[in-house]
Amino acid sequence: MLSMTENILLVWALLLYVAVIAGKVAYRFGAPALLLFLGVGMVFGLHFIKFESFEFTQFIGMIALCIILFSGGMDTKFSEIRPILGPGIVLATLGVVITAVVTGLFIYFFSSWIGLAMSLPVSLLLASTMASTDSASVFSILRTKKQGLKENLRPLLELESGSNDPMAYMLTILLVSVATSAVGEVNLGQSALKFVVQMVVGALMGYGIGRLAVFSINRIDIKNNVSLYPVLLLASVFFSFSFTTLLWGNGYLAVYITGLVVGNYKIAHRGNLTTFMDGFTWLAQIVMFITIGLLVNSDELMHPEVLILGGAVALFLMFVARPLAVFIGLLPFRRFSRRARLFVSWVGLRGAVPIIFATYPIVAGVENGRLIFNVVFMVTLISLLLQGTTVSGVANLLGLAYEEKESRFKMGIPDSIKSNFTEIEVTSSTLEGGSTLRDIVLPDNTLVVMIFRRGEYFVPRGNTSLEVGDKLLVVSDRDETELREVYDALGIKDVLRLQ
């Protein structure tokens, strides 16, 4: 007979296995994998598992969000987000506030019209839980699609989704306090000061702990067991969140900035650390979405008030509140075209974060707390179904998409190596001076170390004949500018930097 612990392990093993298969199916049919993870949890929760712990879901969500936000920051290059830092910050702060206020007012009047009569604080609370775009959904969809976006839209969307959760979290906590307090007990001035302190402390602690993590990984010599470096990095993630929270800072903002710092400074064993964090992030996302799916009561989702209010709020968010927030937020930034603003408006995906935030009213005993949770879940489902499945199509329709080049040479290059690693594609212009490798004039200290041709890899020699379309892996100690000039002279346009 299996013990209770063994039963739990067996169930979770099956859940993870089914979720991975579902993710594969989702990729093949162009659906968001996270939507199917959620579906797996709902199916098991409906037929096999009884799970009703909102507190445990909050804990799982907190752990998963730390991992997701850190990984998103670590994968974001500061050189990419520097040009869009201003609009990204505006969307992550002012955009969230506009979305919450406009949607809250809509909920207040619409709920009265359909006979629910939700109070203004509760209406604003419901809107605040859904005011941020979900980093897990945005990161997953944009990176799985392997689709390039013009006008720096991809780093803008990733920066916004990775940094707007703290604002929504602060609004949610503030409005939970308002909704559970007597009239006049909440001091808005103190609340505003607390918000500023949390954001400033979160930003400073995130940067400081990020630098400490980089220093620790580079200086602590555990080369006899390199598997411990990911453990050290993981400890830095949770230390950043918990210690910042202890100092009255915003832990989610700190975690994201810690990831940005680690991702943009030179660290030892970057390849191993990146692989570990990618896998662990997917595990965190799967566990979080399955847990949320298990928590949902399918019968409650079918209640008329949930269907009507959830559907109305979802459509209002997609077609009114989100576009209004984007167009107002990006008003000072003239470089974005109207098409780009429309696309940013459409990629306002809701996901696990709003659902996690929606557990706070229930735990705090807020009036209509269960209704808030179910409406948020319904809005998330609609968002993932309508917006999540059409991100790629809308980008193509607006003429903002292009085919993103993917390297044929998957390499984990240590930051300690100073050489430039590039992948180039041979063209007919390249072969005008001769068809062998020795006929191509490259600078000193520059070598072609591998060739990819028709699905096969091989190490070349000087007399190796080249063909149009060959992919060459080039290693050079020359600077990037000099290499670019050489490639231009050879008629090589497709250049991928691998480091």
* DSSP conformational letter for 150: S
Q: Which of 424, 399, 398, 447 is nearest to 498 (CA)?
A: 424
* pLDDT of residue 339 exceeding 90: yes
Q: 1: pLDDT confidence band, cut at 50, 70 and 90?
A: very low
Neighbours of 191 (CB within 10 A): 15
Q: How confident is the model at residue 31 (pLDDT cuts 50, 70, 90)?
A: low
| Mean pLDDT comparison of 302-311, 398-407, 487-496, highest-scoring range | 302-311
Pairing relation of β-strands 420-425 and 456-458? unpaired
Of 96-110, 161-175, 231-245, the range with the lowest mean pLDDT is 161-175
pLDDT of residue 309: 95
Whether pLDDT at 95 is above 80 = yes
Angle between helices 33-47 and 4-29 (to 10 degrees): 140
Least-confidence region, from 89-93, 145-149, 309-313, 449-453: 145-149
* 12 compared with 212, residue with greater pLDDT: 212
Q: What are residue 337's phi and psi, to 5 degrees?
A: -75, 165
Alpha helices in 132-187 (DSSP H): 135-145, 153-163, 165-180
Answer with the residue of higher pLDDT: 324 or 23.
324
Phi, psi of 489 (to 5 degrees): -65, -30
| HSE, side-chain direction, 13 A CA sphere, residue 421 | 16
- Residue among 131, 161, 157 at smallest CA distance from 336: 157
27's tokens: 């990729």
> pLDDT tens digits, residue range 214-223?
999 888 877 6
Report the percent of the chain where pLDDT is more than 70.
88
Give the C-alpha separation, 156 to 161, whole Å: 9
Does the pLDDT value for residue 303 go beyond 80?
yes
Q: How far, in Å, CA of 246 to CA of 249, rounded?
A: 7
Through-space distance between the first and last CA atoms of the chain, rounded to whole angstroms: 53
Q: What digits encode the pLDDT tens for the residues 249-285?
A: 999 999 999 999 999 998 888 888 888 898 888 888 8
pTM for the complete prediction? 0.83
Q: 255 with 69: CB under 8 angstroms?
A: yes
Q: Which amino acid is at 483?
A: L
Beta strands (DSSP E) in 349-486 are: 401-403, 420-425, 446-453, 456-458, 471-476
Cβ-in-10-Å burial (0-12, 13-18, 19+) of 403 comes to exposed
Question: What mean pLDDT comes out for the span 378-403?
Answer: 86
Confidence class for position 192, pLDDT limits 50, 70, 90: confident
Q: For residues 243 and 246, what is the distance between their CA atoms, to the nearest angstrom?
A: 5
The mean pLDDT of 372-383, rounded to a whole number, is 92
Report which DSSP code applies to 438.
G
Residue 431 predicted with pLDDT over 70: yes
Q: How many CB atoms lie within 10 A of CB 405?
A: 13
pLDDT attached to residue 348 = 86
Question: How many C-beta atoms lie closer than 10 Å to residue 62's C-beta?
Answer: 17
The Cα–Cα gap between 44 and 53 comes to 15
- Name the residue with higher pLDDT: 423 or 313: 313
Alpha-carbon Rg for the chain, nearest whole angstrom, is: 25
pLDDT by residue (tens digit) across 478-496?
877 788 888 888 888 777 7
Is 50 exceeded by the pLDDT of residue 353?
yes
What per-residue confidence (pLDDT) applies to 292? 87
Averaged over 17-28, what is the pLDDT?
68
pLDDT: is 462 or 181 the higher one? Answer: 462
Percent composition of the chain: helix, strand, coil (DSSP 3-state, to 5): 65, 5, 25
